[in-house]
Amino acid sequence: MITNNTVYDFYRRMFKKLGIKQEKGIIKGTHSFRRNAITDVVNSTNGNLILAAELFGNSPEVIRKNYFTGIDTKQAIDALEQRKWF
C-alpha cells in the first residue's frame, strides 16, 4: 500500500536530489502541484471546467468550488503591488 507518508517522503528525496529547497510556509507537495496544474488548465482554456475535470478526475463542481480559477494575473499582480504592506 502506498501511504501519504510514502508519497511525501518520495517528494522530499526528489527535491533534495534536484536541489529544490523546501521553505517553511511554502507548500511544494503533490497536492499543490496538482492544484496548480488544474488551475493552469482551467485558466488557459478560458474556464473549461469539464476538460479539467476529465483530465484530473474531479467533477466540474469540485473544481469550481475549490480551485483558484478565472483570475486575471496581471490585475492581481497590480493589486498586490499597490498594497501598502507596512
Tell me what pLDDT residue 46 has: 85
Residue 64 lies in a domain: yes
What whole-number distance in Å separates Cα of residue 31 and Cα of residue 64? Answer: 17
The C-alpha cell 503591488 sits at 81
Residue 18 lies in a domain: no
What whole-number distance in Å separates Cα of residue 26 and Cα of residue 79? Answer: 21
Residue 57 lies in a domain: yes
**The model's pTM:** 0.52
Tell me what pLDDT residue 40 has: 85
- Split at pLDDT 50, 70, 90, the class of 50 is very high
Tell me what the pLDDT averaged over the chain comes to: 80
- Split at pLDDT 50, 70, 90, the class of 51 is very high
Tell me what pLDDT residue 32 has: 72
Residue 49 lies in a domain: yes
Residue 46 lies in a domain: yes
Burial class of residue 84 (count of CB atoms within 10 Å of its CB; 0-12, 13-18, 19+): exposed
* Number of independent structural domains in the chain: 1
Domain that holds residue 68: 24-82
